[in-house]
Each structure stands twice: as structure tokens, then as C-alpha cells.
Amino acid sequence: MLVILGRVLEFLAWAGLLWLVVVGGSFSAVYLMGFLGTGGREAGSELVFALGITLPGIAVLYALARAGRWLATRDSRFEA
């Protein structure tokens, strides 16, 4: 049962991670272009917000994917 739960958790975490990279990365790139295009006068707070949501989200989803992999590959035959 833990193998199935681990595989589902791993799949959902990787799917969420890919979605977050595409969407969050796109918004961050647009805000970065606006920030650099105006010489740093515009879009600074939006860039910080987008990166502040995207980067921790990537870290959390990666940790969930690794936890799912750990659950899926854990061998319960050797546990007491």
C-alpha cells in the first residue's frame, strides 16, 4: 500500500513541480524583463513576489517528490 501511495505522491509532486516551473517561471521572466527594461524602476515588487512564491514552491514540491520516491522504494520486509 505504501508503494502505491508513494508512487501517487511522487507523480503528483513532479506534475506540480513542472506546472510551477512553467507558470511561475514565465511570470518571473516577464517581471524580470519589465524590471530590466525600465532600469529597475518598475516591476521590482512583482518580481520579488513571483520569485518568492515560485522558489519555495519548487523546493517543497521537490521534497514531496523525494518523499514519495522514498515511500515507493522502501522495502518493508526487513522492518520489525
Closest CA to 42 of 50, 32, 28, 51: 32
pLDDT digits (tens, 9 = 90+) for 25-43: 999 999 999 999 999 888 8
Cβ-proximal residues to 51 (8 Å cutoff; 6+ apart), any chain:
28
57 alpha-carbon distance from chain centroid: 4
Alpha carbon separation from 38 to 27, 30, 44, 50 (Å, rounded): 17, 12, 10, 18
- pLDDT averages per 10-residue partition of the chain, 80 residues: 90 97 95 93 92 96 96 72
The residue extents of the domains of the chain are: 2-73
Closest CA to 5 of 76, 72, 74, 78: 72
